Structure 1
């Protein structure tokens, strides 16, 4: 998969974005919805609270393969991760990650039998990070258009896992 150092690099990219778009298959059609990260570190697994009665849970039971993407246009950071999703009743983690933000979405509290965690074990992904300002990126694009035999150097792009 990826080294501990690379996992830290990915965490540094996504930890402040917090909200990723989770893509599942709904009757063979891709469907995306926002999901809020709850963990405070990344070891190859992502955690999200969900209702066990949510459609995404049924979709991931039919097909465990999912994709989640994070985007921070202001800083030029884009991360896409693919893996497998499973419902988890891990009480220790439910207690650990519970906070006032999450509580607002679950008014019955963390002991509500409908509260669960969605665990995504990341298997592969790709990330992009712009190295310069938007003005520099526009310059690189213009330069590539003029030279015809070059592509713009907009920053870092790396695939991992898989």
Structure 2
């Protein structure tokens, strides 16, 4: 899939954003909701806490294909990661990532029966990262239009494959 260097690049793009929009299939419709990363590094897998009694858990059980998107408009950074989701009730993982933010969502504590983890094994993705300000993007876009070219607004890369 992707190299350790590329995984580090993806982590550098998403680690400060922290909140991604998880998209699942709800019947015949796509549905997205915010999810907060809990891990301290990225190895090709994303980890989120989840209520094991939630609709998203049922949706992931029916269709494992999910997409998680991250956006930081201020820095013009956008990441879309597609993969396979599943829920996990592993107490070791729950203990590993537990923190006060997560505790607020689970008032009965980390040992409650509904506390679980959502694992997303990333298979492919795409990212956009621009070091240009909005004004510079406008200038580059107008210049490219005058020249009949596409504007160079920063880095854009697709990666991974679908099995």
CA distance in structure 2 between the aligned counterparts of 1:137 and 1:94, rounded to whole angstroms = 43
Counterpart in 1 of 2:132? 132
CA distance in structure 1 between the aligned counterparts of 2:111 and 2:124, rounded to whole angstroms = 33
Pairwise CA distance, 1:133: 1.6
1:158 corresponds to 2:122: no
| CA distances 1:68-110 after superposition (whole Å, capped 9, x unpaired) | 0000001110000000000101111100100000000100000
* Aligned length in residues: 161
CA distance in structure 2 between the aligned counterparts of 1:5 and 1:136, rounded to whole angstroms = 29
Counterpart in 2 of 1:119? 119
Counterpart in 2 of 1:33? 33
Q: Structure 1 stretches (4+) deviating beyond 2 angstroms?
A: none
CA distance in structure 1 between the aligned counterparts of 2:60 and 2:74, rounded to whole angstroms = 32
CA distance in structure 2 between the aligned counterparts of 1:106 and 1:30, rounded to whole angstroms = 26
1:53 corresponds to 2:53: yes
Give the alignment's TM-score, normalised by structure 1. Answer: 0.98
SS in 1 for 2:150: coil
SS in 2 for 1:158: strand
Deviates more, 1:130-139 or 1:40-49: 130-139
Pairwise CA distance, 1:131: 2.3
CA distance in structure 1 between the aligned counterparts of 2:98 and 2:28, rounded to whole angstroms = 33
Q: RMSD over aligned Cα, in angstroms?
A: 0.6
